[in-house]
Amino acid sequence: MHRNPPDPSGENILAADAAVATWKEPPHWLPAVFHSLAYRNYSLLVIGQVSNSLAQWVDMVARPIMMIALTGSAVQVGLVAMARGVPMLFLGPISGILADRMDRRFLMLIAKVLSQVVNIAFTALILTGRLEIWHIYATAILRSVLMAFDQPARQALLPSLVPPRLLVNAIALNSGSMQVVRIVSASLTGVMIAVWAKAFGFAEDDVRVFGGAYVLTVVAYAVAIIATYMLRVPAGGNAKHTNDSWGGSFLEGLRYVLHNPVILGILILLAVQTTFGMPYQSVFVPWLAIKVMDIGPEGAGMLIAVSGFGSLLGAMAVAARGHLLRRRGLIILIALALYGGSLAALGLTSALPLVGVIGLTLPLLPIITLFLVGLAQTSLMSMKNMVLLEDTPNDLRGRVMSFQSWDRGFQTLGGGLGGFAIAAMGGPFALAAFGATCILGALVVGILMPRLRNHN
């Protein structure tokens, strides 16, 4: 079945969907910026997302540090980042179709339970000192496979858990909660690695130093499973049943995207951002912190936490005032350009001498640029999700949101390219080049796709 894109006037399509969560006034003690948390099922979704993100962020910080400790190779760091997302490229369409055919909560629950099984096995290998390089790659791939099925279902479910006029607030709060997790987990991971090594007398290249961090991921996944189990999807929260073939369902979603220049433009921008921007977390920051700034795993965690503070500020601003923003397409373009410029500045300032501040020796300029990276990143992601969910009908949301899984695949491709770029030109200049590419992408899409630029 062919679907026409939404009216270009900007009337959002949520009004066409059945209302699945009724409006209610927030408790007097709850600030308006947290209004969406008054809805039980949305709160459970956030708790599950926070716990899931905690496990993912610990792994995202620890795994590249683990690879650096075991191999000392930037190429290996990039390749393991690539292994994390290649399945997203192939499984994204399938997971999106499932999210539009199955009970979305059940799909999320199965994905999380199986992720926990993989996680427990990986943690056991670390604690017993039996971990080998191929285990790092294999578990990265398995976790990526399962994430591919969790993400579209979770994102497609969100609009059914709050009233339409709270969607902006709900998306921003969801992003903000993940940034709090990034701040805590990034800092905590580096500290836990150092403390665990000291407490048990492990050498820096002994994989058992990562044991404490991965025990934490097991606990976090358990909380995510419980929260997802307790979640109840309102009537209308799942897509309508369809007898279309899998191929027909995929083509329906693809046609919808290709005939909607706003959604297509956003997905192109995301491909640029995830390929050339997101590898800063999994490749560039760990490498720059350990090999260029010489501030170790704790410093790498601190730098990622700084970007989390910027992201948190951006998320809270969108949660409070996002519903008042117009020209959202232009905001997305500006946010990507700022994001790329901040990454380029991070690369160029990373080799500068550390600065003494209040008795501490810190990479001051990289800290400032990473704060701006986080601020731009969350503004971009919140606005992007807002437009995608508002402009897509409920029975297509799983498929449209699954195209973002391709962006996760592009992120891993970028991680691999980042490793080779570091080997070829050094970390600082490689990151500067990646940031400049993000700026170029925003300029080109903004010029060639005026419907996105003028989307209101």
Residue 33: DSSP 8-state: G
Residue 29 belongs to some domain of the structure: no
Give the pLDDT score at 242: 57
Residue 9 belongs to some domain of the structure: no
What is the C-alpha separation between 228 and 336, in angstroms, rounded? 32
CATH code where residue 69 lies? 1.20.1250.20
Residue 266 belongs to some domain of the structure: yes
Host domain of residue 403:
34-232+244-453
Residue 5 belongs to some domain of the structure: no
Q: Is-contact 184 54, C-beta < 8 A?
A: yes
The mean-pLDDT minimum among 215-219, 307-311, 426-430 falls in: 307-311
Give the pLDDT score at 291: 87
pLDDT tens-digit profile of 41-51? 999 999 998 99
Residue 4: DSSP 8-state: P
Residue linked to tokens 């410029």: 341
Average pLDDT over residues 404-427: 82
Res. 91 pLDDT band, cuts 50 70 90? confident
Residue 117: partners with Cβ closer than 8 Å, 6 or more residues away: none
pLDDT tens-digit profile of 200-234? 888 877 889 999 999 999 999 999 999 999 998 77
Number of domains forming the structure of the chain = 1
Residue 368 belongs to some domain of the structure: yes
Largest Cα span, the chain: 67
What is the C-alpha separation between 454 and 456, in angstroms, rounded? 6
Give the pLDDT score at 183: 73
Residue 239 belongs to some domain of the structure: no
Residue 22 belongs to some domain of the structure: no
Q: Is 50 exceeded by the pLDDT of residue 391?
A: yes
Secondary structure of 107-166 as H, E, C letters: HHHHHHHHHHHHHHHHHHHHHCCCCCHHHHHHHHHHHHHHHHHHHHHHHHHHHHCCCHHH
Residue 7 belongs to some domain of the structure: no
Give the pLDDT score at 440: 97
pLDDT tens-digit profile of 126-182? 999 999 999 999 999 999 888 888 887 887 788 888 887 788 788 878 877 877 787
